[in-house]
Amino acid sequence: MLDLPGLWLEAEDRQLLRQPEVAGLILFARNTESPRQVAELVRAIRAERPDMLIAIDQEGGRVQRLRRDVLRLPALADVAAVDAEPVESVARAAAWVMATEMLACGIDISFAPVLDLDHGRSQVIGNRSLGGDPDRVSRLAGAYIDGLHAAGMAATGKHFPGHGWAEADSHFALPIDERSLDDIRRTDLVPFAALAGKLDGIMPAHVVYSQVDPLPAGFSTRWLQDILRADLGFDGVIFSDDLTMAGAHAVGGMDARIDAAQAAGCDMLLICNDRAAAEEGLVHAQKQQLQCPSRIARMLTRTPAGSDYRATPQWRQAVTLLREFDLV
């Protein structure tokens, strides 16, 4: 899964998209001017590659790539702070309106929800989390996933098995979580275990859990095969986090990162914000004859919301509920 430099496809982008090893694109703020422009960009991408999985990070709060002419979504911490029951209805509504607006642009998935616990230690997670109580996070995240599914969007939980304890930001450093596996199972792993059967995708963290494995989770067969697949029974798509992040450098150069992530069990490898690294990775993927796993096709929703979705009773009800708690 690669990225694009701007708002429109250039000749170089089109050539890149034609490579069969490129199975997905992720859109960033630089690619999103308005819903109409995003929809036109997506149509251009589909003209080159109808089978392309198109993703975005539209969590809400400080992580919302498309902001113009769509709802300014609440951070998950603000959703969790609603002092009313059932707060699950609010979480479901927040997910539904986000998914509906993204599907209307032709985007397949937003990488959501964040399942990391807020231990008050990680600034990169912070208010992106639904809180510090693993059972309540599981309950609210389950409702959020229901909202995504009701809109027609697959759900991707991140960052397995939990990024909330490690203080460093894996974009810029390699975080270390020194807790035991038992401690992690009792806390951060709870939402992933509870929701493994509902999630369509999971993204592991570029964090080393030093008492479990010396490798970051996204490169660890212990975490991805023994625990996520075997113990938790997860059968969906495993997305690597961005392989250009500093937390991924622990395993070596780009070729080594690709090999390690694939060997550990990642189905789709993200290489973002570095076109030279993406091209290097693509050459390596071609040499290795990497194949796109069939389970990725499950993420291709192709059930876009109609352009008149704001006129529907479902939209009015969801937005009214969110406005009742000053969330939009």
Exactly one of 78, 146, 171, 274 is catalytic; which is it?
A: 171
Residue found under tokens 């009701």: 150
Binding residues: 57, 65, 128, 158-159
pTM, 2 dp: 0.95
Tell me the CATH class for 11-325.
Answer: alpha beta
pLDDT for the residue 302? 63
Distances, alpha carbon 141 to alpha carbons 95, 130, 145, 195, in Å: 10, 8, 6, 8
Binding residues for substrate: 57, 65, 128, 158-159
Give me the phi and psi of 216, to 5 degrees please.
-55, 150
Domain ranges of the chain: 11-325
Kindly give the confidence (pLDDT) of every residue in the chain, 328 residues in length, as a single tens digit, with 9 standing for 90 and above: 999 999 999 999 999 999 989 999 999 999 999 999 999 999 999 999 998 999 999 999 999 999 999 999 999 999 999 998 899 999 999 999 999 999 999 999 999 999 999 999 988 999 999 999 999 999 999 999 999 999 999 999 999 999 999 987 778 888 999 999 999 999 999 999 999 999 999 999 999 999 999 999 999 999 999 999 999 999 999 999 999 988 888 889 999 999 999 999 999 999 999 988 888 988 998 888 877 778 888 888 766 677 789 999 999 999 999 999 999 9
Letter string b/e over residues 66-101, b meaning 16 or more CB atoms within 10 A of that residue's CB: beeebbebbbbbbbbbbeeeebbbbbbbbbbbbbbb
pLDDT for the residue 308? 86
Annotated catalytic, 171? yes
Annotated catalytic, 206? no
Record the tokens describing residue 307, joined without a space. Answer: 């352009």
Q: How many CB atoms lie under 10 A from the CB of residue 10?
A: 11
Exactly one of 13, 108, 200, 241 is catalytic; which is it?
A: 241
